[in-house]
Chains A and B, each alone.
Chain A
Amino acid sequence: MQSATVTPTDHQLPQTLEPRNPGMALDLDWVRRAQANTSAIERRAKTLPGRRSVKKDYQAAWMLKAITCIDLTTLSGDDTEGRVRRLCAKARQPVSADILAKLGMPNLTTGAVCVYHDMVPTAVHALAGTGIPVAAVSTGFPAGLSPFHLRVAEIGESVTAGAEEIDIVITRRHVLQGNWQALYDEMKAFREACGNAHVKAILATGELGTLRNVARASLVCMMAGADFIKTSTGKESVNATLPVSLVMIRAIRDYYDRTGFRVGYKPAGGISKAKDAVTYLALMKDELGDRWLQPDLFRFGASSLLGDLERQLDHHVGGAYSASYRHALA
């Protein structure tokens, strides 16, 4: 069991509060036993928003919690240092100070900032002293089809550049071909390359074909030592959905029941409304428990979600529906 040193600057990293998932031997029986009944899962996902509702101060608190779980993200070909510095500024002050003051929650920040490798130094510099970690997407993101040794090397480069979290992409081919051993080996190699940096495995669920594949890939990645499992790159045509999330967090629950190690969850892409964020938090609370509602075990991969959360908080504080131009851009 590895455990990183706890320092005031990395309070939002999983390994600071929990022993890190060391992984385990590939258990193919378990992997192949995993089932996911699509219709039943969709029914559960569909009724959840109607079953759970938070109002007034509770709603505000939940929205603030959602903000602390955001990996504020920019992953565009036209990213520049200036753009990334703006994003980092927003991560440090995600909601206007007066609104936060009224809610009694000053000093709130997002969970992390997520960028491409080239932007890591800029982000690390911009966030120095804030405790907000920088996450780098890696391993030939988003398709993950560059030479394997380069993908491994890319992780090392990003860690050296100061990224404390690495979002790797898996080779979807291994899942589609049922080559679980290859997936396991790949994930294990990525994890090793990360060293003390914390690793999120992006499954690209929109490209895995079936929910059953999602369940099995989730298990294999956890067995190979993933600290987090994450739905999507944000570049697939279908990104995070509630049914996919159910499958992945149920796999996390099974893994915890079996090993005692908590693995984090990150839905990414397509979550842009405050109401959706609250539903995701309820899903985590109901399926995994309160422990998984903290940023060390739960993150949203999102760029536009913050804007809606901010507007809704403004409404909560002021009583009137807000306009987006009243809130600072990222």
Chain B
Amino acid sequence: MTVKDIFETMEYGPAPENAADAFAWLVDQGDRFGHFINGAFTPPKDSFTSKNPANGETLATLSQGTQDDVDFAVSAARKAQPKWEKLGGHGRAKYLYAIARLLQKHARLLAVLETLDNGKPIRESRDIDIPQAQRHFYFHAGMAQLMSSELPDRAALGVCGQIVPWNFPLLMLAWKIAPALAMGNTVVLKPAEYTSLTALAFADICRQAGLPAGVVNIVTGDGATGELIVNHTDIDKIAFTGSTDVGRKIRRATAGSGRALTLELGGKSPYIVFEDADIDSAIEGLVDAIWFNQGQVCCAGSRLLVQEGIAERFYTKLRARMDGLRLGNPLDKCIDVGAIVDPVQLQTITEMVASNSDGHTYAAAVDMPVEGCFYPPTLITGLAPSSRLMQEEIFGPVLVATTFRTPAEAVQLANNTRYGLAASVWTENVNLALDIAPQLVAGVVWVNATNLFDAAAGFGGMRESGFGREGGWEGLAAYTKPVSPNKPLARIDGFKGDKGPQDPLDRTPKLYIAGKQARPDGGYSKQVYSKSGALLGQAPIANRKDVRNAVEAAHAAKSWSKTTGHLRAQILYYIAENLSARGDEFANRINALTGARNGRKEVDSSIERLFSAAAWADKYDGQVHNVPIRGVAMAMREPVGVIGALCPDESPLLGLISVMAPAIAMGNRVILAASEPFPLAATDFYQVLETSDVPAGVVNILTGSHGELAPTLASHLDIDAVWSFSSTDLSSEIENASAGNLKRTWVNRGKARDWAVDHSRSFLEAATEVKNIWVPYGE
């Protein structure tokens, strides 16, 4: 075309980024890669190829990590770890800073490599992926620097096995490696088999930074290699980002192993548009929500909810906007939507959309490339929540939509999902926005925005979107542990006896469910004897139906989560007051149950714990993160929800209260399985609850066998977290059964905790989830 022709048509024309330097780098590496272990590349094995999805061309051949490779990498990491940790925060900060600088120096090479390997538009890798990766290393250089002063009671976990997905290869690597290294861990990281090249380039950068050998190890390979890492017994922590199905498998595989775990999984994030929103901006937001990275984004705003009155106009405008998207060669600087990562993923997307017959499907009227893995931006309107595509993650450029009538219905529809990763809310009404955001079950909420990320704000999900946060202060918990180790906890059995009761007047302890004393569904009770063999009474044996009833009661009490910290504090003080009034009675009961003489001390400590929890109820604040936008990212601490807890056996009252008080102080509702050998302090305690204005269902108390209650609690799909401090080590069963809805677990792994010490901080942290609400502002 001549200049004159173009002058008439005003087409954009090709604007390709030059890939010569990236290809030259690949040639310099021989186009063949081994693993990066102990500071050097292993000989390449040519197991599989990495292809450019935009044209199918082979970029390099890669090696499949074997057991020997993973063993080698883990032992290198293990060997390097103590020295790396001992280097100190400042010492590590210098290396992280050097890596950040090197990521900047090689920014364009990394961006082009990423686009070649993944198919994402060069604009995104150049303007988002690579700068964000740099930012993570800068930010965590600071965290390393501050660790000794700000986290004095935390220590590194050790060796971390990290598995990252193919959608943001280098950025996810940065999210994983930067905090791990900052806190003194060493890592074995496996990139996704489709997209390993930038991880290997990163290995090169580690060498340029002079990073000690073994601190970062990169092992390439597919899911089989990932399994080798997950199952490796000398790894202390697994961090995984990927699909919910694989996350569930990893949860089961690591159950009971003692390996820490964080999972960042799938999503079906709602994108809510109220009728008073800036509609054009909300539509432009969708471009960044669902057509960013071809929709292959775990937090993609993939579920559009529009208020009825504006829906048709919104859809019409949206379709017009979709037609303006430019799809094609990802290396073209004038492209909005690039290639799907692999033919396999393209087929999955194609089949999912083809299998749907509900609603109305609109594919953008855009020019499609003749070759390569491409899928047109697609909008499916008129779906009902029951449509499969409204529930299941497509992980492609496909937006599904439905309408709502009221703000309450918007929340209801938004939360009608197994996932809980992210959400967007569009309205010009600040009252509405700040009312809706906390009600959404999501780890991240964007107000009048979408897909904003920063190292200073934690990212991570609720429900089956996983657990743990990446970024911010909250993300450091995933890479540290308390300094002091716990001693082993021996199993405590109840006393046996054959004597009768000391007092013939019978008392009938019951379960405490929904604010009422309830007989056990099974109709069985267990004799409880004193050390001397005297019968102290019968404790009911709760079964799965009692658990079911307690969970229902806990959910019915959901308004507890919305009460003020001030009110919860008052109730906790009141419980303490009423417990104090019956202090002697409880002291005697505890002494009778345990055969020890510290009953009075336990009662006093219990009252102190109640006071601690009351004190924290209105003081365990969130944060406002310093993110680089004109706006705020509010890290709000929200209650986890319904928590099932197996209470400590050894301290029948103090243990229960140490668990209960911080949990309800944060607005959770709890189902407490009382001390198994010494249950009668708990059954006395519900009388205290009854007189202390605790709303029905907030605290439910069960007695019986921990071993029998644990699987029901852990597998119950409507419980959000399960904790175990039982002297029966149920860690493995609980972690395994929790995989069903990926509930948060906190288990003692057979280790003791000194209940005479106030552990409120740990409990508060476990009792809350951080939700980051991003509110850009400006008029």
Q: List residues of chain A with CB under 8 Å of any chain B CB.
A: 35-44, 47, 50-58, 60-62, 64-65, 103-105, 210-212, 246, 250, 281-282, 285-286, 290, 293
B123 A61 Cβ-Cβ under 8 A: no
Is B177's beta carbon under 8 Å from chain A? no
* Known interface pairs A43-B449, A51-B334, A56-B13; A37-B281 also in contact (CB < 8 Å): yes
* 15 sample A-B contacts, Cβ–Cβ < 8 Å, listed by A number: A35-B277, A37-B448, A40-B285, A40-B449, A43-B449, A43-B776, A50-B123, A50-B126, A58-B6, A58-B15, A61-B4, A61-B6, A65-B7, A65-B10, A246-B280
A57 B1 Cβ-Cβ under 8 A: yes
A217–B491 alpha-carbon span in the complex (Å): 76
The 7 closest A-B pairs by CB, nearest first: A58-B13, A61-B6, A40-B281, A39-B776, A37-B278, A38-B778, A35-B278
Residues of A within 8 A of B507 (CB): none
A50 B284 Cβ-Cβ under 8 A: no
Identify which of residues 13-31 in chain B touch chain A, using a CB-to-CB cut-off of 8 Å.
13-15
Residues of B within 8 A of A293 (CB): 10
Interface centre among B278, B279, B282 (most CB of A within 10 A): B278
A285 B3 Cβ-Cβ under 8 A: no
Is B498's beta carbon under 8 Å from chain A? no
Residues of A within 8 A of B288 (CB): 43
Main secondary structure of the interface of A (DSSP, over half): helix
Is B2's beta carbon under 8 Å from chain A? yes
Residues of A within 8 A of B777 (CB): 39
B333 A53 Cβ-Cβ under 8 A: yes
* Known interface pairs A37-B448, A60-B3, A105-B4; A55-B779 also in contact (CB < 8 Å): no
Residues of B within 8 A of A40 (CB): 278, 281-282, 284-285, 448-449, 776
A55 B13 Cβ-Cβ under 8 A: yes
Is B11's beta carbon under 8 Å from chain A? yes
A285 B449 Cβ-Cβ under 8 A: no
Is B482's beta carbon under 8 Å from chain A? no
A64 B123 Cβ-Cβ under 8 A: no
Residues of B within 8 A of A64 (CB): 3, 7
Is B428's beta carbon under 8 Å from chain A? yes
Given A39, A50, A54, A104, which contacts B13 in the complex, CB threshold below 8 Å?
A: A54
Nearest residue, chain A, Cβ from B275: A33
Residues of B within 8 A of A246 (CB): 280
Could you tell me the distance in whole angstroms from the C-beta of B497 to the nearest C-beta in chain A? 71
Could you tell me the distance in whole angstroms from the C-beta of B70 to the nearest C-beta in chain A? 40
Nearest residue, chain B, Cβ from A282: B12
Is B324's beta carbon under 8 Å from chain A? yes
A282–B4 alpha-carbon span in the complex (Å): 18
A281 B10 Cβ-Cβ under 8 A: yes
* Known interface pairs A39-B776, A42-B778, A51-B336; A57-B3 also in contact (CB < 8 Å): yes
Interface string of B271-299 (1 = CB under 8 A from A): 00000111111101100100000000000
Is B86's beta carbon under 8 Å from chain A? no
Given B7, B13, B280, B333, which contacts A250 in the complex, CB threshold below 8 Å?
A: B280
Given A37, A61, A286, which contacts B324 in the complex, CB threshold below 8 Å?
A: A286
Identify which of residues 752-779 in chain B touch chain A, using a CB-to-CB cut-off of 8 Å.
776-779
B334 A54 Cβ-Cβ under 8 A: yes
Is B630's beta carbon under 8 Å from chain A? yes
Could you tell me the distance in whole angstroms from the C-beta of B176 to the nearest C-beta in chain A? 27
Is B708's beta carbon under 8 Å from chain A? no
A293–B6 alpha-carbon span in the complex (Å): 12
Could you tell me the distance in whole angstroms from the C-beta of B586 to the nearest C-beta in chain A? 56
Nearest residue, chain B, Cβ from A38: B778
B778 A39 Cβ-Cβ under 8 A: yes
Could you tell me the distance in whole angstroms from the C-beta of A316 to the nearest C-beta in chain B? 9
A104 B4 Cβ-Cβ under 8 A: yes
Is B628's beta carbon under 8 Å from chain A? no
B3 A61 Cβ-Cβ under 8 A: yes
Is B631's beta carbon under 8 Å from chain A? yes
A58–B6 alpha-carbon span in the complex (Å): 6
Is B127's beta carbon under 8 Å from chain A? yes
Interface centre among A35, A37, A55, A57 (most CB of B within 10 A): A37
Residues of A within 8 A of B631 (CB): 39
B2 A35 Cβ-Cβ under 8 A: no
A34–B123 alpha-carbon span in the complex (Å): 31
B7 A105 Cβ-Cβ under 8 A: yes
Interface string of B297-340 (1 = CB under 8 A from A): 00000000000000000000000000010000000011010000
